Amino acid sequence: MDTTKTPAPTAPEADSPADLKKADAPETTAPVAADTEAAGEAVPTEELAGLEDIEDLEDELDEEPAEEPSGVGAAACALVAAGLGLIALSGSWVSRVIAERATLIGQIDSVNATSTEDKIEALYGNAWQLTALVNGVLSTVALLIGVFVLARPAFGTPGRTLPTWVRAVSWAAVALGVIGVIVFAFMYFVLPLPKAA
């Protein structure tokens, strides 16, 4: 009867590799020694090949997989571009402040204006053009950011594409930017101030 005490199955010593090797060592020592004498150098070479395979597997497990970019930056840029395009079409706070400042300066200058056309130009001319200019700059920035987001995958990792919603928002930003630039050009260059009757 065997009187050696074995550890409990839930004990930490029961599953350790050292205990498993100790338990297997007496049984395998004799056959390995007999095979070594019979086969000569064949057994150690096979054992070394097995150890190299295990080391290769351990190296592969230690290597962390390369993370793919999540595209959060592209999504944020697409949203910013669409927002800028929308603000440029509806009018921004900055353009409103600049227009009010130009109107105030025009009111001061209109005191010396002699004709009605000069007064209209002094009061509204610069404010009109500055509003168009600021909104045109915002539209241009929205257009450039939208084009950048759409063109970015072509210069990045091959085979990587943006999510569908990011491309859709980028195309919307490009469309809003183009419309904003057209409106800017029309307001600034084509649409004249009203004439006095």
Structure tokens at 48: 């070394």
Determine the Cα–Cα distance for residues 35 and 24; give it in Å rounded to an integer.
17
Determine the Cα–Cα distance for residues 33 and 22; give it in Å rounded to an integer.
17
How many distinct helices (H) and strands (E) make up the chain?
7, 0
pLDDT in tens, 24-81: 555 544 555 545 555 554 555 555 566 666 666 666 666 655 566 677 888 999 999 9
Q: Is the distance from CB of 126 to CB of 105 less than 8 angstroms?
A: yes
Q: Is the distance from CB of 121 to CB of 193 less than 8 angstroms?
A: yes
Q: Is the pTM of this model over 0.75?
A: no
pLDDT in tens, 116-175: 887 877 777 788 888 889 999 999 999 999 999 999 888 877 777 888 899 999 999 999
